[in-house]
Amino acid sequence: MQNNSAFYCPIHLIISPVCAGSLTVICYAIVIQQLHRKERMAQVPKIRLAGGLEICRILNGMWQVSGAHGPVDHPKAVQAMQAYIDAGLTTFDMADIYGPAEEIFGHFNSQCDAAPPLQGLTKWVPRPGPMDRKVVEKALQRSMSRMQVDSLDCVQFHWWDYSDNRYLHALGHLSDLQQDGLIRELALTNFDTQRLEEITDKGIGISSNQVQYSLIDQRPAAKMEAVCLSHGIQLLTYGTLAGGLLSERYLGKAEPTSRAELNTASLSKYKKVIDGWGGWGLFQELLVALDTVAQGHSCSIANVATRYVLDRPAVGGVIVGCRLGVAGAEHIKDSLRSCSPELELTAQDLRTIDSVLQRSRDLMSLIGDCGDEYRN
Ligand SMILES: NC(=O)c1ccc[n+]([C@@H]2O[C@H](COP(=O)([O-])OP(=O)(O)OC[C@H]3O[C@@H](n4cnc5c(N)ncnc54)[C@H](OP(=O)(O)O)[C@@H]3O)[C@@H](O)[C@H]2O)c1
């Protein structure tokens, strides 16, 4: 019998030698499976947020189960989460306004054992109105009850209208509730640089700001990145794959214009960004450049698009939308490749990409700073 303590199975002590033989095989299989799982999990690079929470550098985005990306099969979506966990992609991003997303997370969370631990990042997206402590507490309690947790790993706060400065009241209460242990990481989403500085100047500790950041939307590089770097704030990015437009699927394809073609909320959202950025013709040139780079690394266009953003200073993680439970919509292996340290973009790769990017319009002057698209 194996004496190595890692392989030792105490049940052998109380059963017959024949049973012991087959149980040894089962024990070996379980141990080896767990070792493989640990190995895969170790392969996913992680970062630690200011409050100590460790998250994966590729996060699983759950807007895709809100209903705005096609019908959602709740049980299938819950079941589909296991494959992400098994691959080591244990961090999920959701919001109080993403339909059943928090509940899907909660159902999975209540079913699975403690290991490996999941990280559930949610958002609070209130309608402007009074922001007293009771309002804030009620919102957090609702998310906690849906997610079936006793405290929240991370709350990312969104605000629609800066002319109403009650976002500062809300953040003050969120900060107090963080001190009380209800929230681990206090974070923002779609805040611009000016307000991020205003908030940190008031002594409110912010862990991350979730913003749109991709090859086609590089507004965070203008001002946001520098402020994040100086305050130890991580950027978590969305739109990095432009809803899937930044992939081989659209290389050499005619411009999608109809609702049938742009059939998810992401596709129609980011197609508009491409229109403002430079249009479909220039976008095709970008896809050709990305394909050249991708072929040089035997990887996908999505890998290059993700790696480019992951390598930006201040970017802690890239959120990749997952249509959980939809056949053919799982990109786990490819996501693992995107964050693998073996995928390194060279100076020549960056020149190839930049030769197209430099001909695009400046979205900062067209739209404004991060998140302004939600306020203008
Ligand atoms: N804070 C905010 O205001 C905000 C706004 C938008 C999104 N988000 C967050 O960001 C997440 C991502 O959403 P997004 O709208 O930005 O979408 P996205 O991640 O840019 O695109 C997701 C889509 O890309 C395709 N895809 C994923 N991996 C791929 C790969 N390796 N190769 C080819 N295609 C791939 C999939 O399409 P198929 O499913 O068709 O295969 C997937 O549905 C959301 O779930 C949400 O958590 C936040």
> In the predicted model, is pLDDT for residue 264 greater than 50?
yes
Nearest alpha carbon, ligand 1 atom 5: 238
- pLDDT of the residue at 5: 30
> In the predicted model, is pLDDT for residue 86 greater than 50?
yes
> In the predicted model, is pLDDT for residue 254 greater than 60?
yes
- The closest of 56, 104, 115 to 81, measured between CA atoms, is 104
- pLDDT of the residue at 43: 82
CB count within 10 Å of CB 138 equals 9
Q: What average pLDDT does this structure show over 8-32?
A: 44
Mean pLDDT for all residues in the chain:
91
- pLDDT of the residue at 72: 93
The pair of structure tokens assigned to 223 is: 């001002």
> In the predicted model, is pLDDT for residue 34 greater than 70?
no
Q: What average pLDDT does this structure show over 40-69?
A: 92
Ligand 1 atom at shortest distance from the alpha carbon of 301: 32
Distant-in-sequence contacts of 275-279, Cβ < 8 A, 24+ apart: 276/361, 276/363, 276/366, 276/367, 277/216, 277/217, 277/360, 277/361, 277/363, 278/216, 278/359, 278/360, 278/361
The string over 109-130, giving b where at least 16 C-beta atoms fall within 10 Å of a residue's C-beta and e elsewhere, is: beeeeeeeebbbbbbbbbeeee
> In the predicted model, is pLDDT for residue 41 greater than 60?
no
> In the predicted model, is pLDDT for residue 329 greater than 80?
yes
Express each pLDDT in 93-113 by its tens digit: 999 999 999 999 999 999 987
Nearest alpha carbon, ligand 1 atom 47: 61
Q: Give 172-207 as a DSSP string.
A: HHHHHHHHTTSEEEEEEES--HHHHHHHHHTT----
CATH 2.20.28.270 fits 44-374, yes or no: no
Contact by Cβ (8 Å): 64, 101? no
Nearest alpha carbon, ligand 1 atom 18: 243
Q: Give 235-294 as a DSSP string.
A: EEEESTTGGGTSSGGGTTPPPP-STTTS-SHHHHHHHHHHHHHTHHHHHHHHHHHHHHHH
Nearest alpha carbon, ligand 1 atom 32: 302
Q: How far apart are the CA of 133 and the centre of ligand 1, in A?
A: 33
- pLDDT of the residue at 22: 55
38 pLDDT tier (thresholds 50, 70, 90): low
Express each pLDDT in 176-191 by its tens digit: 999 999 999 999 999 9
Q: What average pLDDT does this structure show over 59-81?
A: 96
CA angle 188, 194, 199 (to 5 degrees): 50
Q: How far apart are the CA of 3 and the centre of ligand 1, in A?
A: 48
Express each pLDDT in 220-248 by its tens digit: 999 999 999 999 999 999 999 999 999 99
Task: Specify which residues 59 forms β-bridges with.
Answer: 319
The pair of structure tokens assigned to 251 is: 């290389």
Ligand 1 atom at shortest distance from the alpha carbon of 156: 1
- pTM for this prediction: 0.91
Pocket of ligand 1 (CB under 6 A): 61-64, 93, 189-190, 210, 238-244, 247, 266, 300, 302, 319-321, 323, 329, 331, 334-335
- pLDDT of the residue at 376: 79
Percent of the chain with pLDDT over 90: 86
Q: How far apart are the CA of 14 and the centre of ligand 1, in A?
A: 52
- pLDDT of the residue at 4: 31
CB count within 10 Å of CB 254 equals 9
Q: Which amino acid is located at 203 in the chain?
A: G
CB count within 10 Å of CB 266 equals 23
